[in-house]
Amino acid sequence: MGRAVPHPVSPIACRAPAKVNLCLEVLGRRDDGYHELRTVFQAVGLYDYVRVGESETVDLSVARGAPADERNLAYRAAELLRSGCTHRGAYIELRKRIPAGAGLGGGSSDAAAALSCLVDLWGLELTAEELVAAAAAIGADVPFFLGPPTALGTGRGDVLTPLPSPPTTWMVLAVPPLRLPRKTAAVFAALRPEEYTDGGASEALGRALQEGRPLGSELLYNGLTAAALRALTGLEEYSAALSRVWPHWTVSGAGPAHFTICSSRDEAVELRRALHRLPGRAYAVPTLQPGWTRRPQLLPGLG
Ligand code: C5P
């Protein structure tokens, strides 16, 4: 990997957005134990905040809601870069806003943000391909967070093709307080071959985006839904409770987060409020556009 060059020393802060899978299809099982996916990722405006600065060793602190050790993908990102490119240390501070283990990609996004900030902090010269390879080594969802905010993922979900982003669309994310250790593996294990699909739903969504059509709920699909409902105790009841408030919900990733499309910010804020009686949390968020910046002027919550 790249060599170290003179570098900035002041701490670097950035934000790490969540994602939803607008469409997620499982095509079949692969020889390596993974499943072949066809999925359309969309980044949304719910953020974790990451700050990195110089230190003797690699230290991670997490304000709340995620492990602060090598299980944390941001920590693995630092160790991977360090072993490949430099022997310098860094502290990484995470302020979590994205619920962990929900299917919203928070851990993967933190890792991509940490990679990107550490490359700057340590002054590493990596090509885009080297950075993406490092991201893929950390997790299948990590490369998406280094690229544009809308993309088709094939293979394990890590072979990416950029797609045009839809016009800014307001969504509500609904996250029940249901957690399951090794959730992704458990949901894939609960999947039945008759739930495999041929990729047609992702193609239809890709076509709609290419043609500049707005997102509609008829374009959304998640082939892991039935498996998630079987694997996660309590999810079926939560899903039914959501449907009594609002008709169209889609599961994101392996769940348990659900999301829906609203016609305006006001409608999203109102729907979020209407969900306050349900357990867990709800967020009104916009989809992100290609011009979104990881380094805004103001970073809330990072003193
Ligand atoms: O990507 P990650 O390592 O978190 O995936 C956890 C587990 O989920 C894998 O070990 C595999 O059993 C399952 N999985 C899969 N197909 C995918 C992604 C994950 O079968 N495309």
Strand-pair category, 281-286 with 221-222? unpaired
Instruction: Reply yes or no on whether the pLDDT at 120 is more than 50.
Output: yes
Q: What is the pLDDT of residue 297?
A: 56
Instruction: Reply yes or no on whether the pLDDT at 82 is more than 90.
Output: no
The one-letter amino acid code at 239 reads S
Q: What is the pLDDT of residue 5?
A: 53
Residue 139 Cβ < 6 Å to ligand 1 = yes
Q: Which atom of ligand 1 is nearest to the CA of 26?
A: 21
- Residue 155's contacts (CB-CB under 8 Å, 6 or more residues apart) are 36, 37
Q: What is the pLDDT of residues 61-81, one digit of tens each?
A: 877 667 777 778 888 888 888
Residue 21 Cβ < 6 Å to ligand 1 = no
**Residue range 238-260: average pLDDT?**
97
For ligand 1, the distance from its centroid to the CA atom of residue 219, given in whole angstroms, is 25
For ligand 1, the distance from its centroid to the CA atom of residue 66, given in whole angstroms, is 20
For ligand 1, the distance from its centroid to the CA atom of residue 185, given in whole angstroms, is 5
Active site residue 158: no
Q: Are 63 and 84 in contact (CB under 8 A)?
A: no
Q: Are 298 and 47 in contact (CB under 8 A)?
A: no
Residue 196 Cβ < 6 Å to ligand 1 = no
- Residue 158's contacts (CB-CB under 8 Å, 6 or more residues apart) are 136, 140, 141, 142, 143, 144
Say if pTM beats, i.e. exceeds, 0.85.
yes
Q: Which atom of ligand 1 is nearest to the CA of 189?
A: 12
Q: What is the pLDDT of residue 303?
A: 40
Q: Which of 48, 141, 158, 183 is catalytic?
A: 141
242 vs 260: CA distance, rounded Å: 10
Active site residue 183: no
Residue 259 Cβ < 6 Å to ligand 1 = no
For 15, 119, 124, 228, the CA distances from 232, given in Å and listed in that order, are 30, 38, 42, 6
For ligand 1, the distance from its centroid to the CA atom of residue 183, given in whole angstroms, is 9
Residue 34 Cβ < 6 Å to ligand 1 = yes
DSSP state of 7: -
